[in-house]
Amino acid sequence: MDQIKKKIRVLSQQYLGQVISWRRHLHAHPELSMQEHQTAAFVSAHLTEMKIKHQTGIAETGIVAIIEGRNPQKKTIALRADMDALPIEEANQVPYKSQNPGVMHACGHDVHTSSLLGVAQILAELKGEFEGTVKLFFQPSEERYPGGAIQMIRAGAMENPRPANVFGQHVYPELEAGMVGVRAGEYMASTDEIHLTITGKGGHGALPSRLIDPVLIASHIVVALQQIVSRQASPDMPTVLSFGRFIANGQTNIIPDQVKIAGTLRTFDEGWRQEAHRRIGTLAEGIAQSMGGQCKVFIDHGYPFVYNDPAVAANVKKWAVELLGADKVVDLPLRMTAEDFSYFANEVPSCFYRLGVANQARGITSGLHTNTFDVDEKSLETSIALMAWIAVNALAG
């Protein structure tokens, strides 16, 4: 393995400039979820140039590519990159600034996509030196429900051949470029949208005894639902329930007929998630009824929580230490944000890890989903080298 590690180091240096230019092209031409047509065409053109077999149009704009090493039937693993951008107007003044008004790669999916192309280049060059098959998933629509991952799985991406593991990475501005983070077990939360419509009887604000005030009912519901987190969730099971939307469209002297509230539920256990949905419904409906009103509950199921298989995550950490050194690899805390990589991880033992992209000294520290998000492009070398190294090690295992 030492020989191949040396080659991966050399190739990742050699292709860094190329990967940076791909990343800049994608950054300048971001596309929203399920509209990644130009992005997919760009990926496909470069895969064709590299003579890598691939199928386009998987779940609309997704691509599955296949790189066969020696003895391709022996084992298969998959690497995943998401391709979509966000509805944000970029504020960075950089040569590769978004040319699509109101659309920006503010979640680093340009980094993930260009990196996977770089990994493809490296693995295609080394295919005489490893056994097995590497599948590459270029996934649409991570940012928008129902997410591209489940749609690619339904379209057959995980079959013919079925990978033993899937590996994915995400940029992480909380870590400096050159570093990576891994966490075994539960890593990112499940996410569900909670929509409540409270109906009462509106009218003159001065005559409340003739009315059923949905504003008061909704206020009681928001407060009461917090007991699901504080009293009913197990203390060792992180749960967040936040309501960011509370629309009572009355006036100082007009009580409306209806109030709409909406929020998000995040947690890390499938059984508790279902139970929490049930309790939210019962509590909200019960409070509304007890006050003479009604509450309609609609829960939009989002992504499941991301579970990193402990053995696979331990290997990723070990391989990262071998390639980068122990001082460059950290353990990650739990994270309440969500990722549809979870659908792949629910299919086969998998690992989703983090790529440091910050540079404190150069002021590259903006968070994900902000209009000033950017990365230190030095991180792309770490990105392609590590993913290629993970692939060859996972196939050898």
Part in contact with Zn ion (CB under 5 A); list of ranges 103-111, 149-157, 304-312, 378-386: 103-111
142 is catalytic: yes
- 318's CB contacts (< 8 A; 6+ apart) are none
Minimum Å gap between C-beta 84 and Zn ion is 8
- For Zn ion, how many residues bind (rule: CB under 5 A)? 1
CA distance 336 to 367: 15
> What 3-state DSSP class applies to 387?
helix
Please, which residues bridge with residue 191 across strands?
Answer: 266
Minimum Å gap between C-beta 105 and Zn ion is 10
Part in contact with Zn ion (CB under 5 A); list of ranges 17-25, 99-107, 178-186, 376-384: 99-107
Our CB check for Zn ion shows the closer of 26 and 288 to be 26
β-strand pairing of 76-82 with 306-308: unpaired
> What 3-state DSSP class applies to 343?
helix
Minimum Å gap between C-beta 142 and Zn ion is 6
Minimum Å gap between C-beta 320 and Zn ion is 20
| Half-sphere exposure for 286 (CA within 13 Å, toward CB) | 8
Our CB check for Zn ion shows the closer of 264 and 393 to be 264
Q: Which one from 84, 186, 192, 374 is the annotated catalytic residue?
A: 84
Per the CB < 8 A criterion, the answer to whether 287 and 217 are in contact is yes
Minimum Å gap between C-beta 20 and Zn ion is 20
Determine how many CB atoms are found less than 10 A away from the CB of residue 157: 27
Our CB check for Zn ion shows the closer of 107 and 291 to be 107
* DSSP string of 96-155, one letter each residue: T--SSTT-B--SSHHHHHHHHHHHHHHHHHTGGGSBSEEEEEEE--SSSTT-HHHHHHHT
Tallying the residues shown for the chain, one arrives at: 397
Our CB check for Zn ion shows the closer of 107 and 391 to be 107
Part in contact with Zn ion (CB under 5 A); list of ranges 10-18, 106-114, 225-233, 286-294: 106-114
Minimum Å gap between C-beta 190 and Zn ion is 16
- Only one residue has tokens 């009103």, namely 293
* 180 counts as binding Zn ion under rule CB under 5 A: no
Our CB check for Zn ion shows the closer of 107 and 217 to be 107
Minimum Å gap between C-beta 112 and Zn ion is 8
Q: Which residue is nearest to Zn ion (CB)?
A: 107
* 126 counts as binding Zn ion under rule CB under 5 A: no
* 107 counts as binding Zn ion under rule CB under 5 A: yes
- Only one residue has tokens 């404190």, namely 360
Our CB check for Zn ion shows the closer of 107 and 225 to be 107
β-strand pairing of 62-68 with 133-139: antiparallel
Per the CB < 8 A criterion, the answer to whether 141 and 34 are in contact is yes
Our CB check for Zn ion shows the closer of 107 and 323 to be 107
Q: Which residue, 94, 122, 126, 124, is CA-closest to 110? A: 94
176 is catalytic: no
Q: Which one from 31, 36, 82, 142 is the annotated catalytic residue?
A: 142
Part in contact with Zn ion (CB under 5 A); list of ranges 101-109, 176-184, 245-253, 284-292: 101-109
Part in contact with Zn ion (CB under 5 A); list of ranges 3-11, 100-108, 256-264, 347-355: 100-108
- Quote the crossing angle between the two packed helices 2-28 and 310-324, to the nearest 10°: 100
CA distance 50 to 9: 19
- 20's CB contacts (< 8 A; 6+ apart) are 114, 377, 380
Q: Which residues bind Zn ion (CB under 5 A)?
A: 107
Catalytically active residues are: 84, 142
